[in-house]
Structure 1
Protein backbone atom coordinates (compact mmCIF):
# COMPACT_ATOMS: atom_id res chain seq x y z
CA UNK A 1 0.00 0.00 0.00
CA UNK A 2 1.36 3.41 -0.98
CA UNK A 3 1.19 5.88 1.89
CA UNK A 4 0.22 9.50 1.37
CA UNK A 5 3.38 11.56 1.08
CA UNK A 6 2.75 14.77 2.96
CA UNK A 7 4.82 16.99 5.24
CA UNK A 8 2.67 18.48 8.02
CA UNK A 9 2.31 22.21 7.41
CA UNK A 10 3.05 23.22 11.00
CA UNK A 11 6.07 21.00 11.54
CA UNK A 12 9.43 22.72 11.73
CA UNK A 13 11.76 20.83 9.42
CA UNK A 14 15.51 20.40 9.20
CA UNK A 15 16.72 21.31 5.74
CA UNK A 16 20.13 20.44 4.31
CA UNK A 17 20.73 22.69 1.31
CA UNK A 18 23.73 22.63 -1.02
CA UNK A 19 25.22 25.62 -2.84
CA UNK A 20 24.32 28.21 -0.19
CA UNK A 21 26.94 30.79 -1.13
CA UNK A 22 24.66 32.37 -3.76
CA UNK A 23 21.63 31.98 -6.00
CA UNK A 24 18.91 29.47 -5.28
CA UNK A 25 20.78 27.76 -2.45
CA UNK A 26 21.21 31.00 -0.56
CA UNK A 27 17.64 32.13 -1.23
CA UNK A 28 16.19 28.79 -0.12
CA UNK A 29 18.23 28.72 3.08
CA UNK A 30 17.17 32.26 3.97
CA UNK A 31 13.51 31.59 3.23
CA UNK A 32 13.37 28.33 5.18
CA UNK A 33 15.12 29.91 8.13
CA UNK A 34 12.86 32.98 8.05
CA UNK A 35 9.89 30.61 8.33
CA UNK A 36 11.22 29.01 11.49
CA UNK A 37 12.86 25.91 10.07
CA UNK A 38 16.28 24.62 11.08
CA UNK A 39 18.69 24.95 8.20
CA UNK A 40 22.01 23.27 7.58
CA UNK A 41 23.61 25.43 4.90
CA UNK A 42 26.49 23.82 3.04
CA UNK A 43 29.40 25.49 1.31
CA UNK A 44 32.33 24.17 -0.67
CA UNK A 45 34.50 26.65 1.24
CA UNK A 46 32.73 28.40 4.15
CA UNK A 47 35.77 30.62 4.84
CA UNK A 48 35.06 32.50 1.59
CA UNK A 49 31.68 33.71 2.84
CA UNK A 50 32.11 34.45 6.56
CA UNK A 51 29.25 36.95 6.47
CA UNK A 52 26.83 34.22 5.42
CA UNK A 53 28.15 31.83 8.06
CA UNK A 54 27.53 34.55 10.66
CA UNK A 55 24.06 35.26 9.28
CA UNK A 56 22.87 31.68 9.43
CA UNK A 57 24.48 30.71 12.72
CA UNK A 58 23.27 33.84 14.54
CA UNK A 59 19.75 32.85 13.59
CA UNK A 60 20.11 29.31 14.90
CA UNK A 61 21.23 27.57 11.73
CA UNK A 62 24.33 25.55 10.95
CA UNK A 63 26.98 25.96 8.28
CA UNK A 64 29.08 23.01 7.20
CA UNK A 65 31.69 22.33 4.57
CA UNK A 66 30.48 20.02 1.83
CA UNK A 67 32.31 19.49 -1.44
CA UNK A 68 30.13 17.18 -3.50
CA UNK A 69 33.03 16.48 -5.86
CA UNK A 70 34.51 14.36 -3.08
CA UNK A 71 33.50 10.72 -3.31
CA UNK A 72 32.85 10.49 0.44
CA UNK A 73 30.85 13.72 0.74
CA UNK A 74 27.84 11.70 1.91
CA UNK A 75 29.63 11.25 5.23
CA UNK A 76 28.46 14.76 6.11
CA UNK A 77 24.91 13.46 6.18
CA UNK A 78 25.98 10.36 8.09
CA UNK A 79 27.62 12.51 10.77
CA UNK A 80 24.58 14.75 11.14
CA UNK A 81 22.20 11.81 11.43
CA UNK A 82 24.54 10.01 13.85
CA UNK A 83 24.35 12.85 16.34
CA UNK A 84 20.56 12.58 16.39
CA UNK A 85 19.60 15.32 13.92
CA UNK A 86 17.12 13.99 11.37
CA UNK A 87 17.36 15.61 7.94
CA UNK A 88 13.79 16.17 6.78
CA UNK A 89 14.50 17.91 3.47
CA UNK A 90 17.53 17.51 1.21
CA UNK A 91 17.75 20.21 -1.47
CA UNK A 92 20.33 19.51 -4.19
CA UNK A 93 21.07 22.93 -5.68
CA UNK A 94 24.83 23.18 -6.21
CA UNK A 95 26.14 22.88 -9.76
CA UNK A 96 27.71 24.77 -12.64
CA UNK A 97 27.23 25.27 -16.36
CA UNK A 98 29.50 24.57 -19.34
CA UNK A 99 28.97 25.36 -23.01
CA UNK A 100 30.34 23.94 -26.26
CA UNK A 101 29.50 21.43 -29.02
CA UNK A 102 29.02 17.87 -27.80
CA UNK A 103 32.07 16.60 -29.74
CA UNK A 104 34.48 19.12 -28.31
CA UNK A 105 34.96 18.36 -24.62
CA UNK A 106 37.96 16.69 -23.09
CA UNK A 107 37.65 13.65 -20.86
CA UNK A 108 38.64 15.82 -17.90
CA UNK A 109 35.88 18.35 -18.62
CA UNK A 110 33.25 15.62 -18.96
CA UNK A 111 34.30 14.01 -15.70
CA UNK A 112 34.39 17.34 -13.90
CA UNK A 113 30.87 18.48 -14.77
CA UNK A 114 29.35 15.03 -14.27
CA UNK A 115 31.10 14.72 -10.92
CA UNK A 116 29.68 18.01 -9.65
CA UNK A 117 26.24 18.07 -11.27
CA UNK A 118 25.25 14.39 -11.21
CA UNK A 119 27.45 12.21 -9.00
CA UNK A 120 27.58 14.86 -6.27
CA UNK A 121 23.80 15.04 -5.75
CA UNK A 122 23.55 11.26 -6.11
CA UNK A 123 26.10 10.76 -3.32
CA UNK A 124 23.91 12.82 -1.00
CA UNK A 125 20.74 11.04 -2.11
CA UNK A 126 22.41 7.71 -1.47
CA UNK A 127 23.39 8.87 2.04
CA UNK A 128 20.07 10.37 3.11
CA UNK A 129 17.54 8.00 1.53
CA UNK A 130 18.04 5.10 4.00
CA UNK A 131 17.41 7.43 6.96
CA UNK A 132 14.27 8.88 5.43
CA UNK A 133 13.07 5.43 4.42
CA UNK A 134 13.47 4.08 7.95
CA UNK A 135 11.65 7.10 9.42
CA UNK A 136 8.92 6.85 6.77
CA UNK A 137 9.17 10.59 6.18
CA UNK A 138 11.26 13.17 4.37
CA UNK A 139 11.71 14.91 1.05
CA UNK A 140 14.43 15.06 -1.60
CA UNK A 141 14.46 17.99 -4.03
CA UNK A 142 16.62 17.77 -7.16
CA UNK A 143 17.30 20.79 -9.36
CA UNK A 144 17.38 20.30 -13.12
CA UNK A 145 17.11 22.77 -16.01
CA UNK A 146 15.48 23.38 -19.37
CA UNK A 147 18.41 21.74 -21.14
CA UNK A 148 17.97 18.78 -18.81
CA UNK A 149 14.51 18.28 -20.31
CA UNK A 150 14.99 19.22 -23.98
CA UNK A 151 18.17 19.56 -26.05
CA UNK A 152 19.72 23.01 -26.50
CA UNK A 153 22.58 23.62 -28.92
CA UNK A 154 25.94 24.05 -27.13
CA UNK A 155 24.47 22.81 -23.83
CA UNK A 156 24.60 19.09 -24.50
CA UNK A 157 27.13 18.22 -21.82
CA UNK A 158 25.46 20.46 -19.26
CA UNK A 159 22.06 19.01 -20.17
CA UNK A 160 23.36 15.48 -19.73
CA UNK A 161 24.73 16.35 -16.30
CA UNK A 162 21.35 17.80 -15.27
CA UNK A 163 19.24 15.03 -16.81
CA UNK A 164 17.72 13.91 -13.53
CA UNK A 165 14.49 12.60 -15.05
CA UNK A 166 15.36 8.91 -15.01
CA UNK A 167 16.93 8.97 -11.55
CA UNK A 168 14.30 11.18 -9.93
CA UNK A 169 11.27 9.47 -11.47
CA UNK A 170 12.56 6.09 -10.33
CA UNK A 171 13.42 7.42 -6.87
CA UNK A 172 9.93 8.93 -6.64
CA UNK A 173 8.36 5.51 -7.27
CA UNK A 174 10.71 3.66 -4.95
CA UNK A 175 10.35 6.10 -2.05
CA UNK A 176 6.59 6.67 -2.28
CA UNK A 177 5.87 3.44 -0.44
CA UNK A 178 7.97 4.73 2.45
CA UNK A 179 6.18 8.10 2.62
CA UNK A 180 9.26 9.93 1.28
CA UNK A 181 8.55 12.62 -1.27
CA UNK A 182 10.77 13.37 -4.28
CA UNK A 183 10.52 16.57 -6.32
CA UNK A 184 12.26 17.43 -9.60
CA UNK A 185 12.53 21.18 -10.19
CA UNK A 186 13.03 22.27 -13.80
CA UNK A 187 14.50 25.76 -13.94
CA UNK A 188 14.52 28.13 -16.86
CA UNK A 189 16.90 31.12 -16.89
CA UNK A 190 16.94 33.05 -13.63
CA UNK A 191 18.77 36.08 -12.27
CA UNK A 192 21.46 34.29 -10.27
CA UNK A 193 25.27 34.55 -10.48
CA UNK A 194 25.34 31.29 -12.44
CA UNK A 195 24.11 33.16 -15.53
CA UNK A 196 27.45 34.93 -15.84
CA UNK A 197 29.52 31.88 -14.92
CA UNK A 198 28.72 29.40 -17.70
CA UNK A 199 32.15 28.09 -18.60
CA UNK A 200 33.24 27.74 -22.24
CA UNK A 201 35.09 24.56 -23.12
CA UNK A 202 38.86 24.84 -22.92
CA UNK A 203 39.56 23.88 -26.53
CA UNK A 204 38.91 26.71 -29.06
CA UNK A 205 35.70 26.39 -31.08
CA UNK A 206 36.24 24.75 -34.46
CA UNK A 207 35.77 27.28 -37.34
CA UNK A 208 33.15 24.97 -38.87
CA UNK A 209 30.75 26.14 -36.15
CA UNK A 210 31.11 29.80 -37.06
CA UNK A 211 27.69 31.21 -37.94
CA UNK A 212 25.82 28.06 -36.96
CA UNK A 213 23.14 27.92 -34.27
CA UNK A 214 25.56 26.05 -32.05
CA UNK A 215 28.28 28.63 -32.62
CA UNK A 216 25.96 31.52 -31.85
CA UNK A 217 24.64 29.83 -28.72
CA UNK A 218 28.19 29.11 -27.61
CA UNK A 219 29.15 32.77 -27.92
CA UNK A 220 25.99 33.97 -26.16
CA UNK A 221 26.17 31.49 -23.30
CA UNK A 222 29.87 32.08 -22.77
CA UNK A 223 29.41 35.86 -22.66
CA UNK A 224 26.47 35.82 -20.23
CA UNK A 225 24.88 38.49 -22.41
CA UNK A 226 21.37 37.13 -22.85
CA UNK A 227 17.85 37.73 -21.61
CA UNK A 228 17.15 36.57 -18.07
CA UNK A 229 13.38 36.49 -17.57
CA UNK A 230 13.18 34.67 -14.24
CA UNK A 231 13.09 36.10 -10.70
CA UNK A 232 14.85 33.49 -8.55
CA UNK A 233 13.26 34.77 -5.34
CA UNK A 234 9.75 34.17 -6.72
CA UNK A 235 10.81 30.73 -7.93
CA UNK A 236 12.34 29.91 -4.54
CA UNK A 237 9.06 30.79 -2.85
CA UNK A 238 7.19 28.47 -5.24
CA UNK A 239 9.55 25.60 -4.44
CA UNK A 240 9.26 26.26 -0.70
CA UNK A 241 5.46 26.28 -0.91
CA UNK A 242 5.41 22.93 -2.68
CA UNK A 243 7.75 21.41 -0.09
CA UNK A 244 5.69 22.54 2.91
CA UNK A 245 2.27 22.35 1.22
CA UNK A 246 1.36 25.99 1.66
CA UNK A 247 0.36 28.78 -0.72
CA UNK A 248 0.60 27.61 -4.33
CA UNK A 249 1.82 24.24 -3.07
CA UNK A 250 -1.31 23.42 -1.10
CA UNK A 251 -2.97 20.36 -2.58
CA UNK A 252 0.02 19.75 -4.86
CA UNK A 253 2.21 17.95 -2.36
CA UNK A 254 2.24 14.68 -4.29
CA UNK A 255 3.40 16.20 -7.58
CA UNK A 256 6.81 15.06 -8.79
CA UNK A 257 7.80 17.71 -11.38
CA UNK A 258 7.79 21.48 -10.93
CA UNK A 259 8.64 23.62 -14.01
CA UNK A 260 9.57 27.25 -13.35
CA UNK A 261 10.16 30.04 -15.86
CA UNK A 262 8.61 31.16 -19.14
CA UNK A 263 11.51 29.68 -21.12
CA UNK A 264 11.08 26.43 -19.19
CA UNK A 265 7.46 26.34 -20.34
CA UNK A 266 8.70 26.56 -23.95
CA UNK A 267 10.95 23.54 -23.39
CA UNK A 268 8.07 21.56 -21.88
CA UNK A 269 5.83 22.24 -24.89
CA UNK A 270 8.70 21.27 -27.21
CA UNK A 271 8.98 17.91 -25.47
CA UNK A 272 5.24 17.32 -25.68
CA UNK A 273 5.17 18.20 -29.37
CA UNK A 274 8.23 16.08 -30.19
CA UNK A 275 6.73 13.02 -28.49
CA UNK A 276 3.44 13.53 -30.31
CA UNK A 277 5.37 13.86 -33.60
CA UNK A 278 7.38 10.71 -32.88
CA UNK A 279 4.23 8.66 -32.36
CA UNK A 280 2.50 10.18 -35.39
CA UNK A 281 5.45 9.14 -37.58
CA UNK A 282 6.45 5.84 -36.01
CA UNK A 283 3.44 4.78 -33.94
CA UNK A 284 2.35 2.10 -36.42
CA UNK A 285 5.86 0.68 -36.58
CA UNK A 286 6.20 0.83 -32.81
CA UNK A 287 3.12 -1.35 -32.42
CA UNK A 288 4.09 -3.90 -35.09
CA UNK A 289 7.38 -5.40 -34.01
CA UNK A 290 6.01 -8.04 -31.64
CA UNK A 291 6.78 -11.74 -31.60
CA UNK A 292 4.34 -13.53 -33.91
CA UNK A 293 2.01 -16.03 -32.27
CA UNK A 294 2.36 -19.52 -33.75
Structure 2
Protein backbone atom coordinates (compact mmCIF):
# COMPACT_ATOMS: atom_id res chain seq x y z
CA UNK A 1 0.00 0.00 0.00
CA UNK A 2 1.39 3.39 -1.03
CA UNK A 3 2.25 5.91 1.67
CA UNK A 4 -0.01 8.96 1.85
CA UNK A 5 1.78 12.26 2.39
CA UNK A 6 0.23 15.58 3.36
CA UNK A 7 1.58 19.06 2.63
CA UNK A 8 0.53 22.01 4.84
CA UNK A 9 -1.51 24.66 3.03
CA UNK A 10 0.81 27.47 4.04
CA UNK A 11 3.92 29.34 3.05
CA UNK A 12 6.82 26.88 2.98
CA UNK A 13 10.50 27.52 3.54
CA UNK A 14 12.99 26.23 0.98
CA UNK A 15 16.70 25.77 1.67
CA UNK A 16 18.39 25.49 -1.74
CA UNK A 17 22.09 24.91 -2.34
CA UNK A 18 24.02 26.10 -5.38
CA UNK A 19 21.87 29.12 -6.25
CA UNK A 20 24.25 31.39 -8.12
CA UNK A 21 23.21 30.00 -11.52
CA UNK A 22 21.45 27.19 -13.38
CA UNK A 23 18.88 24.97 -11.70
CA UNK A 24 19.33 26.52 -8.26
CA UNK A 25 18.71 30.08 -9.42
CA UNK A 26 15.70 28.98 -11.43
CA UNK A 27 14.20 27.24 -8.40
CA UNK A 28 14.75 30.29 -6.21
CA UNK A 29 12.70 32.40 -8.63
CA UNK A 30 9.90 29.85 -8.86
CA UNK A 31 9.62 29.38 -5.10
CA UNK A 32 9.54 33.11 -4.43
CA UNK A 33 7.02 33.68 -7.21
CA UNK A 34 4.87 31.02 -5.55
CA UNK A 35 4.81 33.00 -2.32
CA UNK A 36 7.25 30.81 -0.39
CA UNK A 37 10.26 31.79 1.70
CA UNK A 38 13.64 30.96 0.20
CA UNK A 39 17.00 30.59 1.88
CA UNK A 40 19.39 30.61 -1.05
CA UNK A 41 22.98 29.51 -0.64
CA UNK A 42 26.19 29.65 -2.61
CA UNK A 43 29.88 29.26 -1.96
CA UNK A 44 30.70 32.91 -2.72
CA UNK A 45 27.66 35.25 -2.47
CA UNK A 46 30.00 38.24 -2.91
CA UNK A 47 30.39 37.24 -6.57
CA UNK A 48 26.68 37.74 -7.27
CA UNK A 49 25.65 40.84 -5.26
CA UNK A 50 22.79 41.74 -7.57
CA UNK A 51 21.25 38.27 -7.27
CA UNK A 52 21.60 38.40 -3.50
CA UNK A 53 19.91 41.79 -3.39
CA UNK A 54 17.07 40.65 -5.64
CA UNK A 55 16.32 37.59 -3.49
CA UNK A 56 16.46 39.48 -0.21
CA UNK A 57 14.29 42.36 -1.48
CA UNK A 58 11.61 39.74 -2.12
CA UNK A 59 11.78 38.54 1.48
CA UNK A 60 14.27 35.72 1.10
CA UNK A 61 17.73 35.34 2.54
CA UNK A 62 21.02 34.51 0.87
CA UNK A 63 23.75 32.92 2.96
CA UNK A 64 27.26 31.68 2.35
CA UNK A 65 27.47 27.90 2.39
CA UNK A 66 30.29 25.65 1.26
CA UNK A 67 28.72 22.19 1.19
CA UNK A 68 32.22 20.67 1.19
CA UNK A 69 32.91 22.01 4.67
CA UNK A 70 32.67 19.49 7.53
CA UNK A 71 30.85 22.25 9.45
CA UNK A 72 28.27 22.94 6.73
CA UNK A 73 25.47 21.29 8.69
CA UNK A 74 25.72 23.98 11.37
CA UNK A 75 23.70 26.26 9.09
CA UNK A 76 20.61 24.16 9.83
CA UNK A 77 20.82 24.66 13.58
CA UNK A 78 21.56 28.37 13.14
CA UNK A 79 18.53 28.91 10.92
CA UNK A 80 16.22 26.88 13.11
CA UNK A 81 17.31 28.57 16.35
CA UNK A 82 17.36 32.10 14.90
CA UNK A 83 13.57 32.16 14.72
CA UNK A 84 13.42 32.03 18.49
CA UNK A 85 15.52 35.18 18.86
CA UNK A 86 14.98 37.45 15.89
CA UNK A 87 11.54 38.50 14.73
CA UNK A 88 12.61 38.72 11.08
CA UNK A 89 13.44 35.03 11.10
CA UNK A 90 10.14 33.85 12.54
CA UNK A 91 9.09 32.31 9.22
CA UNK A 92 12.54 30.82 8.72
CA UNK A 93 12.67 28.71 11.84
CA UNK A 94 10.88 25.81 10.20
CA UNK A 95 12.84 24.46 7.26
CA UNK A 96 10.30 22.49 5.24
CA UNK A 97 12.24 21.68 2.08
CA UNK A 98 15.93 20.83 1.81
CA UNK A 99 16.89 20.90 -1.86
CA UNK A 100 20.40 19.64 -2.63
CA UNK A 101 21.46 21.12 -5.95
CA UNK A 102 25.11 22.20 -5.64
CA UNK A 103 27.42 20.22 -7.88
CA UNK A 104 30.10 20.13 -10.56
CA UNK A 105 31.75 17.53 -12.75
CA UNK A 106 35.34 16.45 -13.26
CA UNK A 107 35.75 14.60 -16.53
CA UNK A 108 38.37 11.85 -16.28
CA UNK A 109 38.52 8.13 -16.87
CA UNK A 110 38.27 5.85 -13.87
CA UNK A 111 41.85 4.72 -14.45
CA UNK A 112 43.34 8.22 -14.53
CA UNK A 113 41.15 9.88 -11.88
CA UNK A 114 43.17 10.86 -8.85
CA UNK A 115 41.89 10.03 -5.39
CA UNK A 116 41.72 13.76 -4.71
CA UNK A 117 39.45 14.27 -7.73
CA UNK A 118 37.17 11.39 -6.78
CA UNK A 119 36.95 12.58 -3.18
CA UNK A 120 36.10 16.11 -4.30
CA UNK A 121 33.16 14.76 -6.31
CA UNK A 122 31.98 12.66 -3.38
CA UNK A 123 32.39 15.57 -0.96
CA UNK A 124 30.21 17.95 -2.98
CA UNK A 125 27.55 15.55 -4.20
CA UNK A 126 27.38 12.85 -1.53
CA UNK A 127 28.78 13.92 1.85
CA UNK A 128 27.67 17.55 1.46
CA UNK A 129 23.99 16.70 0.90
CA UNK A 130 24.16 13.92 3.49
CA UNK A 131 25.36 16.34 6.18
CA UNK A 132 22.46 18.72 5.53
CA UNK A 133 19.94 15.88 5.39
CA UNK A 134 21.12 14.42 8.70
CA UNK A 135 20.97 17.86 10.32
CA UNK A 136 17.49 18.81 9.12
CA UNK A 137 15.75 15.46 9.66
CA UNK A 138 15.30 15.75 13.45
CA UNK A 139 13.43 19.05 12.97
CA UNK A 140 11.30 17.66 10.15
CA UNK A 141 10.57 14.52 12.13
CA UNK A 142 9.49 16.57 15.15
CA UNK A 143 7.11 18.59 12.96
CA UNK A 144 5.93 15.52 11.06
CA UNK A 145 6.56 17.16 7.73
CA UNK A 146 9.45 17.70 5.36
CA UNK A 147 10.67 17.17 1.81
CA UNK A 148 14.21 16.15 0.87
CA UNK A 149 14.99 16.85 -2.79
CA UNK A 150 18.19 15.70 -4.50
CA UNK A 151 19.21 16.76 -7.98
CA UNK A 152 20.75 13.75 -9.66
CA UNK A 153 21.86 12.94 -13.19
CA UNK A 154 21.34 10.43 -15.94
CA UNK A 155 25.00 9.61 -15.35
CA UNK A 156 23.92 7.74 -12.22
CA UNK A 157 21.95 5.37 -14.47
CA UNK A 158 24.31 5.05 -17.42
CA UNK A 159 27.21 7.45 -17.39
CA UNK A 160 29.26 8.30 -20.44
CA UNK A 161 32.99 7.50 -20.56
CA UNK A 162 35.04 9.98 -18.44
CA UNK A 163 32.12 10.54 -16.03
CA UNK A 164 33.00 7.80 -13.55
CA UNK A 165 33.78 10.02 -10.51
CA UNK A 166 30.68 12.15 -11.12
CA UNK A 167 28.44 9.16 -11.78
CA UNK A 168 29.71 7.41 -8.67
CA UNK A 169 28.91 10.38 -6.45
CA UNK A 170 25.43 10.82 -7.89
CA UNK A 171 24.65 7.10 -7.75
CA UNK A 172 25.81 6.98 -4.14
CA UNK A 173 23.38 9.72 -3.12
CA UNK A 174 20.60 8.07 -5.12
CA UNK A 175 21.13 4.76 -3.36
CA UNK A 176 21.21 6.32 0.08
CA UNK A 177 18.06 8.33 -0.65
CA UNK A 178 16.13 5.20 -1.59
CA UNK A 179 16.80 3.81 1.87
CA UNK A 180 16.14 7.13 3.57
CA UNK A 181 12.70 7.30 1.95
CA UNK A 182 11.71 4.05 3.65
CA UNK A 183 13.02 5.20 7.01
CA UNK A 184 11.23 8.57 7.21
CA UNK A 185 7.95 8.03 5.37
CA UNK A 186 6.19 7.27 8.66
CA UNK A 187 6.91 10.85 9.78
CA UNK A 188 5.32 12.45 6.70
CA UNK A 189 8.77 13.19 5.31
CA UNK A 190 9.13 12.41 1.64
CA UNK A 191 12.05 12.33 -0.75
CA UNK A 192 12.31 13.25 -4.41
CA UNK A 193 15.25 12.31 -6.61
CA UNK A 194 15.33 14.35 -9.82
CA UNK A 195 17.32 12.58 -12.54
CA UNK A 196 18.36 15.11 -15.17
CA UNK A 197 19.60 14.83 -18.72
CA UNK A 198 21.45 17.59 -20.56
CA UNK A 199 20.21 21.12 -19.94
CA UNK A 200 21.23 24.69 -20.70
CA UNK A 201 23.22 25.17 -17.50
CA UNK A 202 26.92 25.89 -17.08
CA UNK A 203 27.86 22.31 -16.06
CA UNK A 204 29.12 21.25 -19.49
CA UNK A 205 30.43 24.67 -20.49
CA UNK A 206 32.53 24.94 -17.32
CA UNK A 207 33.90 21.43 -17.62
CA UNK A 208 36.85 20.51 -15.40
CA UNK A 209 39.21 17.86 -16.70
CA UNK A 210 41.36 15.38 -14.80
CA UNK A 211 44.97 16.30 -14.09
CA UNK A 212 46.45 13.09 -15.51
CA UNK A 213 46.57 12.87 -19.33
CA UNK A 214 45.06 9.83 -21.00
CA UNK A 215 47.52 7.00 -21.71
CA UNK A 216 48.39 6.35 -25.34
CA UNK A 217 46.11 3.30 -25.35
CA UNK A 218 43.09 5.59 -25.03
CA UNK A 219 43.77 7.31 -28.35
CA UNK A 220 40.66 7.41 -30.59
CA UNK A 221 38.50 5.72 -27.96
CA UNK A 222 35.11 7.02 -26.83
CA UNK A 223 36.80 8.39 -23.71
CA UNK A 224 39.24 10.52 -25.69
CA UNK A 225 36.49 11.59 -28.08
CA UNK A 226 34.34 12.66 -25.15
CA UNK A 227 37.05 14.89 -23.71
CA UNK A 228 37.88 16.38 -27.13
CA UNK A 229 34.19 17.05 -27.70
CA UNK A 230 33.72 18.72 -24.32
CA UNK A 231 36.73 20.95 -24.86
CA UNK A 232 35.15 22.39 -27.99
CA UNK A 233 32.40 23.89 -25.84
CA UNK A 234 29.84 22.81 -28.44
CA UNK A 235 27.94 20.27 -26.39
CA UNK A 236 24.39 19.87 -27.75
CA UNK A 237 21.69 20.84 -25.29
CA UNK A 238 18.29 19.17 -25.16
CA UNK A 239 16.57 20.63 -22.13
CA UNK A 240 15.31 24.00 -20.93
CA UNK A 241 16.34 24.40 -17.28
CA UNK A 242 13.43 26.67 -16.40
CA UNK A 243 10.83 24.26 -17.77
CA UNK A 244 12.50 21.44 -15.89
CA UNK A 245 12.59 23.34 -12.60
CA UNK A 246 8.93 24.30 -12.99
CA UNK A 247 8.19 20.57 -13.09
CA UNK A 248 10.33 20.03 -9.96
CA UNK A 249 8.63 22.90 -8.15
CA UNK A 250 5.15 21.59 -9.03
CA UNK A 251 5.95 18.10 -7.75
CA UNK A 252 7.46 19.48 -4.54
CA UNK A 253 4.48 21.69 -3.67
CA UNK A 254 1.88 19.30 -5.11
CA UNK A 255 0.38 21.47 -7.81
CA UNK A 256 0.05 21.18 -11.59
CA UNK A 257 1.75 18.00 -12.76
CA UNK A 258 2.58 17.24 -9.12
CA UNK A 259 -0.99 17.33 -7.87
CA UNK A 260 -1.80 14.02 -6.18
CA UNK A 261 1.71 12.69 -6.87
CA UNK A 262 3.31 13.48 -3.53
CA UNK A 263 4.27 9.83 -2.98
CA UNK A 264 6.34 9.64 -6.18
CA UNK A 265 10.05 9.38 -5.26
CA UNK A 266 11.56 9.72 -8.75
CA UNK A 267 11.30 12.34 -11.49
CA UNK A 268 13.13 11.89 -14.80
CA UNK A 269 13.57 15.08 -16.82
CA UNK A 270 14.96 15.57 -20.32
CA UNK A 271 14.27 13.79 -23.59
CA UNK A 272 17.65 12.05 -23.41
CA UNK A 273 16.48 10.35 -20.22
CA UNK A 274 13.99 8.20 -22.14
CA UNK A 275 16.60 6.05 -23.93
CA UNK A 276 18.74 5.97 -20.79
CA UNK A 277 15.89 4.67 -18.66
CA UNK A 278 15.02 2.16 -21.37
CA UNK A 279 18.66 1.00 -21.43
CA UNK A 280 18.54 0.29 -17.70
CA UNK A 281 15.30 -1.63 -18.10
CA UNK A 282 16.70 -3.62 -21.02
CA UNK A 283 19.96 -4.36 -19.19
CA UNK A 284 18.14 -5.79 -16.17
CA UNK A 285 15.76 -7.76 -18.35
CA UNK A 286 18.66 -9.14 -20.40
CA UNK A 287 20.53 -10.23 -17.28
CA UNK A 288 17.47 -12.11 -16.03
CA UNK A 289 17.01 -13.70 -19.44
CA UNK A 290 20.63 -14.88 -19.64
CA UNK A 291 21.24 -15.77 -16.00
CA UNK A 292 17.72 -16.13 -14.63
CA UNK A 293 18.07 -19.83 -13.87
CA UNK A 294 21.20 -19.10 -11.82
CA UNK A 295 19.54 -16.15 -10.10
CA UNK A 296 17.02 -18.52 -8.61
CA UNK A 297 19.41 -21.45 -8.35
CA UNK A 298 21.87 -20.37 -5.72
CA UNK A 299 19.67 -20.61 -2.64
CA UNK A 300 20.52 -22.88 0.28
CA UNK A 301 19.17 -26.38 -0.27
CA UNK A 302 16.31 -27.14 2.10
TM-score of the aligned structures, taking structure 1 as reference length? 0.96
Q: Which of 283, 291, 295 lines up with 1:286 in the alignment?
A: 295
Give 1:263-282 correspondences, 5 Å limit: 263-282=272-291
1:114 Cα deviation after fit = 1.1
Local SS of the residue matching 1:196: coil
Q: Distance in 1 between matches of 2:246 and 2:64?
A: 25
User: Does structure 1 residue 126 correspond to structure 2 residue 134?
Assistant: yes
Q: Distance in 1 between matches of 2:205 and 2:35?
A: 32
1:98 Cα deviation after fit = 1.2
* Structure 1 counterpart of 2:7: 7
Q: Distance in 1 between matches of 2:189 and 2:76?
A: 17
* Structure 1 counterpart of 2:87: none
1:291 Cα deviation after fit = 1.0
Note if contact 2:2-2:263 (Cα within 8 Å) is conserved in structure 1: no
1:2 Cα deviation after fit = 8.3
State the Cα deviation string for residues 233-282 of structure 1 (Å, max 9, x = none). 00000000000111111121110000000111221111000000010011
User: Does structure 1 residue 240 correspond to structure 2 residue 213?
Assistant: no
* Structure 1 runs, 4 residues or longer, greater than 4 Å off: none
- Structure 2's unaligned 5+ residue stretches are 84-92
Q: Which of 212, 223, 235 lines up with 1:214 in the alignment?
A: 223
* Structure 2 counterpart of 1:99: 107
Q: Which of 142, 151, 160 lines up with 1:143 in the alignment?
A: 151
User: Does structure 1 residue 29 correspond to structure 2 residue 28?
Assistant: yes
* Structure 2 counterpart of 1:198: 207
* Structure 2 counterpart of 1:57: 56
State the Cα deviation string for residues 179-206 of structure 1 (Å, max 9, x = none). 0010000000000111201211011122
Local SS of the residue matching 2:111: helix
* Structure 2 counterpart of 1:161: 169
* Structure 2 counterpart of 1:16: 15
Note if contact 1:2-1:177 (Cα within 8 Å) is conserved in structure 2: no
Local SS of the residue matching 2:247: helix
The number of residue pairs the alignment matches comes to 292
Note if contact 2:3-2:263 (Cα within 8 Å) is conserved in structure 1: no
* Structure 1 counterpart of 2:72: 73
- Structure 1's unaligned 5+ residue stretches are none
User: Are residues 238 and 100 of structure 1, via their aligned partners in 2, closer, same or farther at CA, if it must alter by over 3 Å?
Assistant: same
Local SS of the residue matching 1:104: coil
TM-score of the aligned structures, taking structure 2 as reference length? 0.94
> Pairwise CA RMSD of aligned residues?
1.3
Local SS of the residue matching 1:91: strand
Q: Which of 250, 256, 259 lines up with 2:265 in the alignment?
A: 256
Q: Distance in 1 between matches of 2:2 and 2:284?
A: 30
Q: Which of 99, 116, 123 lines up with 1:108 in the alignment?
A: 116
* Structure 2 counterpart of 1:186: 195
State the Cα deviation string for residues 144-196 of structure 1 (Å, max 9, x = none). 10101223211111100111221111111111011001000000000011120
* Structure 1 counterpart of 2:86: none
